[in-house]
Structure formats: C-alpha cells, structure tokens
Amino acid sequence: MVDDGPIRGATSIRRHVTIPADLERVAELRATVREIGAGCQAPADCIGDLVQAVDEAATNIIRYGYGGERGSIDMTAELVGDDIVVTLVDEATPFDPTAAEGPDLSIPPHRRTPGGMGIHLMRLATDSMEHRVRPGGGNILTLTRSRVRRPKEG
C-alpha cells in the first residue's frame, strides 16, 4: 500500500492510498475512509455510508472492471467544506455506475447486471456519484457524502 499519510491544512484533511486490484486489499480502503471520517469528526452513520460506498465501488472495479487482470485502484479522500469527497481512479474497462439503472424487479434476474445490488447501495449511501472516463483509459469515480446530513432515499 502506498499511503501519503494525512495532509492537514487550515481547511482540509486529505488522504491518499493505492492498492492492487485484489479483493483482499479492499479492507485498506475501508480503513482509510474510517480514518479520514474520524479525522473530520464525521458521525458514525456518515462513516458507515462511505465505507459501504467505497467497498462496493472498489469491489465492482476489481471484479468487473479488471476482471481478474492486474491493476490498481488509487483512492483520494478529502474534506471539502462539509463534504467528504472520495475519488477512485483505475485503469480498468470504462464503466459508469451512475448510468446503471436501479433494480427493476420486473426484469428476469438473469438479465440484471451482476453487482447491481452494490450500485443500489452506493446510491443510497452517498449524496452524489460522478463518473468520468480517465484520459488514457480507465475511470475516475467521485463519491460525495455530507458529514452533517443524511442522504435522501428514494
């Protein structure tokens, strides 16, 4: 793991970590999210939501984006105003989870996207998700969660 350690300024707390595309290593991303959440005095429900969203996002990148190929996930987490902003950068096959449709129970299960349950949980756990194609290949996914209010459901 490459970890720059916390970078604390007058108005920001920031952490950066890189893991290989290995499901066993996703725990390091969760730990980093917990650290920055605690560092900016976020309530437990906020930290839990971000841990969830990052876990699901990273798992999908490793499982479906890299699909067993070697690669890495670069995560930056920072406090911006009252928002905790987590950015995940990979070099995997481009995939936009924000464009994935929510679960439609009228669709036969075999036609639903594997990992769709994780995207459903990511939406509920964040205030916003933004996806960009990374220049040169890959994805840039930004997950934002306020530390002072819960995301809207529905």
Nearer to another protein, 24 or 136 (CB): 24
C-alpha pair distances (Å), 75 with each of 31, 96, 103, 148, 149: 12, 17, 27, 22, 23
Nearer to another protein, 39 or 115 (CB): 115
In whole angstroms, give the CA distance from residue 80 to residue 48.
Answer: 18
Least Å from the CB of residue 106 to another protein = 11
Least Å from the CB of residue 91 to another protein = 20
The helix/strand count (H/E) of the chain reads as 3, 7
CB atoms inside a 10 Å sphere around CB 116: 17
**Length reported for the chain:** 154
H or E segment to which residue 90 belongs: strand 83-90
Nearer to another protein, 7 or 107 (CB): 107
Least Å from the CB of residue 47 to another protein = 8
Least Å from the CB of residue 144 to another protein = 18
Token couple for 45: 């429900």
Nearer to another protein, 16 or 120 (CB): 120
Least Å from the CB of residue 121 to another protein = 6
CB atoms inside a 10 Å sphere around CB 68: 9
In the complex, the residues that contact another protein under the rule CB under 8 A are 23-24, 26-27, 30, 44-45, 48-49, 51-52, 55-56, 59, 62-63, 103, 105, 109-110, 112-118, 120-121, 124, 153
C-alpha pair distances (Å), 56 with each of 29, 75, 102: 11, 14, 15
Nearer to another protein, 44 or 99 (CB): 44
